[in-house]
Amino acid sequence: MLAALALPRHEAHCPARHQTYAALAGCVWDEAAEVSGEGPFALVIEHWAESGIRTLVMLWTWADDALDAKNLINATTVATIFRLPDNLIQLAVRD
Give the 3-state secondary structure of residue 27: helix
Q: Give the H/E segment covering residue 25.
A: helix 21-28
Task: Answer whether residue 51 is part of any domain.
Answer: yes
Structural domain range at position 50: 18-91
Q: Give the H/E segment covering residue 64.
A: helix 63-76
The pTM score is 0.75
Q: Residue 8: pLDDT above 60?
A: no
- Count of alpha carbons within 13 angstroms of residue 28, beta-carbon side: 26
Position with higher pLDDT, 73 vs 37:
37
Task: Answer whether residue 62 is part of any domain.
Answer: yes
What is the reported pLDDT for 37? 94
Pairing outcome for strands 41-49 and 34-37: unpaired
pLDDT, tens digit (0-9, with 9 covering 90-100), for 46-60: 877 777 778 889 999
Q: Are 22 and 56 in contact (CB under 8 A)?
A: no
Task: Answer whether residue 7 is part of any domain.
Answer: no
